Amino acid sequence: MAKNRFSKAWIHAHLNDPYVKQAQQRGYRSRAAFKLLEIDERDQLLRRGQTVVDLGSTPGSWSQVIRERLAGPGGVIDGRIVAIDILPMEPVAGVDFLLGDFRDDAVLAEFERLIACPGQDPATVQVDLVVSDMAPNLSGVGLADAARMGHLAELALEFSERHLKPGGALLIKCFHGSGYSQIVEAFKRVFVTVATRKPKASRDGSAETYLLGRGLKARG
């Protein structure tokens, strides 16, 4: 029988999770903030002056971390942060939020207009980093869930190929299991270097891992 996510045991473990407690103390909206913090400490992804996109951003903990990393003196953001999600997100100071599906042409057009410099053709907009902590609603059916996860990875890759600078990077969540090797191979076709990251903040027993691709391969 599948574990009930809201069972007493799960709630007890959640409330006693040290990362949950730290998130509450530091004002992060979820414990997921510490996954990005740990990866960034290792890989130095976030720097002032960047343009960063947070796909599937709600509830906003990754956007909060990005904001902290890009903040200069006085807390003013040095760079641009755009968060996109089909679900509403409470505002994060200095973060531009787009409510909608980033696959939709209208949302993409608004995104391009939002970060284009004055006089720049929006279609030429390029960003430094794309991050995604998105995951599908899991059904418990392995093959179906793997297909959903693979589809999200494919969408993030397509977005990144279109919008990343040549030296840019993409960080996404995925799950070990059926379809994982195909996601890795897809990353290797797009990026010069591909690495896996398993932050300590990932729950014990979780199959989640993160894929990091850096440097777009030349097309053709």
pTM score above 0.85? yes
Q: What angle do CA 215, 125, 194 make, to 5 degrees?
A: 15
Q: Which residues of the chain have pLDDT under 70?
A: 1-15, 138-142, 205, 220
pLDDT in tens, 115-171: 988 888 888 889 999 999 998 776 666 677 778 888 899 999 999 999 999 999 999
Residue that has been written with the tokens 């390029």 in this structure: 126
Residue 1: its pLDDT value, please?
Answer: 37
Q: How far apart are CA 10 and CA 16, in angstroms?
A: 10
User: What length does the chain have?
Assistant: 220
Domain ranges, residue 99? 30-216
Is residue 186 a part of any domain in this protein? yes
Is residue 21 a part of any domain in this protein? no
Residue 38: its pLDDT value, please?
Answer: 96
Residue 8: its pLDDT value, please?
Answer: 64
| Residue 135 · residue 202 · CB < 8 Å | no
Q: Domain count for the chain, please give it.
A: 1
Catalytic residues: 173
Residue 21: its pLDDT value, please?
Answer: 84
Residue 11: its pLDDT value, please?
Answer: 52
Helices (H), 71-218: 105-115, 142-163, 180-190
Is residue 135 a part of any domain in this protein? yes
Is residue 15 a part of any domain in this protein? no
Residue 141: its pLDDT value, please?
Answer: 65
Is residue 10 a part of any domain in this protein? no
Share of the chain above pLDDT 90, in %: 64
